[in-house]
Amino acid sequence: MSGNIELLNTTLAATRAADRAALIAYLPAGFPTVDGSIEAVKAVIAGGADIVEIGLPHSDPVLDGPVIQTADDIALRGGVRIADVMRTVREAHEATGVPILVMTYWNPIDRYGVERFTAELAEAGGAGCILPDLPVQESALWREHADKHGLATVFVVAPSSQDARLATITAAGSGFVYAASLMGVTGTRASVGAQAQDLVGRTRATTDLPVCVGLGVSNAAQAAEVAGFADGVIVGSAFVKAMLDAPDEAAGLAAVRSLAGELAEGVRKR
């Protein structure tokens, strides 16, 4: 069965044709529970998210700040497994028709088996993977299987990436390019920073892929700012924090749906 890279491509093409950025939401699988995470994905989509990234919880994250680390710890202590990640992708996609990607560090895939992981993600209706710690020069095996199964390979670029390095990374990727707005880990911030706009411009000079910006966006004003120069606005920690701060799961779902609505309005006001 083929994955949904084409759905991802057409979704990003449609938002571009509508002269707006896509809203891409990140939520970890298994937080607060597996069932709760599936409902959270449905809630952010109902609120206005165009695309969703499902985080595969990891005990040693290199990109994630304290908010997402806390959620990952809750998920891992709850016993979340890769099968639960696949179930989250499947049920969220079947319920909404929206492209769903998995964001994961490389070690779990390596341990699980590349062929097994890509085949199961495609069968679940996944659109691809974001791989923040997989070096491009070591990605040939992954890309071979991802291509075979119709999955996007999204690499992360950073403000420190030199132009030649950007060209190497974007040539190997598909779906979109994840541009980290600043050096550091995930988390909400008071401002997104001028580095992001410079990075988007330099990345676009190397590729026709959409360039989507993550790290630091937490409100409608920031979403509108980033939407002014990027093809997509990626929001994770703000959604996770809204659920962590909620008194119960129902309140958490209402909070993430409301936040998605505010952010969706923001990306349309660029």
Residues listed for the chain = 270
Cβ-based neighbours of 177, under 8 Å, separated by 6 or more: 154, 155, 157, 169, 170, 203, 207, 209, 210, 211, 212
Cross-strand bridge partners of residue 153: 129
Q: Of residues 53, 72, 91, 231, which has the active-site annotation?
A: 53
Q: Give dist(CA 163, CA 165) in Å, integer.
A: 5
Looking at residue 109, the DSSP 8-state letter turns out to be H
Q: Of residues 64, 72, 84, 231, which has the active-site annotation?
A: 64
Q: Give dist(CA 155, CA 263) in Å, integer.
A: 24
Q: By the 8 A CB rule, do 180 and 156 touch?
A: yes
Q: Residue 208 burial by CB count (10 A; 0-12/13-18/19+): exposed, middle or buried?
A: exposed
The amino acid occupying position 183 is: M
Annotated active-site residue 245? The verdict is: no
Annotated active-site residue 53? The verdict is: yes
Instruction: Write out the H or E segment, with its range, that includes residue 239.
Output: helix 237-245
Looking at residue 268, the DSSP 8-state letter turns out to be T
Strand blocks (E) in the chain? 22-28, 51-55, 100-103, 128-130, 152-154, 156-157, 177-180, 211-214, 232-235
| 3 state SS for 199-218 | HHHHHHCCCCCCEEEECCCC
Show which residues are catalytic. 53, 64
